[in-house]
């Protein structure tokens, strides 16, 4: 079983749409969770950390459901510049290793 699983997409949505990505993780003792964004042939960049209480940063909302072992990312009012691959990242209980999902590809269409 993969440590972190994501729907690879692709998701093609019109500008202004709301889109949601989910991610599941295998280790129930995982401690920290993140969403990264990766543009084509660039490095991953932190989008936001994910906290148990859920957190919001502008148009982006992240949720964590520990009981079901999944993480979600909601993007409201999609912009063309949101087109990228979104990576779910989990720090397993080993503490020092971060596991990446395969990423979900998003294209926002004019």
Site for another protein, rule CB under 8 A: 31-32, 34, 38, 41-46, 49, 87, 89, 91, 94-103
In the complex, least distance from residue 10 CB atom to another protein, rounded to whole angstroms: 13
- DSSP classification of residue 68: T
Q: Nearer Cβ to another protein, position 27 or 102?
A: 102
Strand ranges for 40-103 from DSSP E = 45-50, 55-57, 60-65, 70-75, 84-91, 98-100
Minimum CB distance to another protein, residue 30 (Å)? 10
11 versus 36: smaller Cβ distance to another protein: 36
Closer to another protein by CB, 78 or 85: give it. Answer: 85
- β-pairing verdict for 11-14 and 104-109: parallel
Residue 54, phi-psi category: left (phi > 0), alpha (psi -120 to 50), beta (remainder): left
CB of 102 to another protein, least distance (A): 4
Q: Can you read off the two tokens belonging to residue 45?
A: 């960049």
- By beta-carbon proximity to another protein, the closer residue of 73 and 78 is 73
């Amino acid at each position: 079983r993969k440590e972190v699983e994501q729907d690879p997409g692709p998701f093609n949505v019109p500008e202004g749409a709301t889109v949601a990505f989910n991610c599941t993780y295998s280790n129930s003792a995982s401690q920290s969770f993140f969403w990264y964004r990766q543009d084509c042939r660039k490095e991953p960049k932190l989008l936001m950390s994910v906290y148990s209480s859920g957190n919001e940063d502008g148009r982006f909302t992240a949720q964590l459901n520990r009981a079901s072992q999944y993480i979600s990312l909601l993007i409201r009012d999609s912009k063309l510049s949101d087109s990228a691959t979104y990576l779910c990242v989990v720090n397993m209980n080993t503490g020092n290793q971060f596991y990446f999902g395969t990423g979900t590809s998003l294209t926002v269409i004019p």
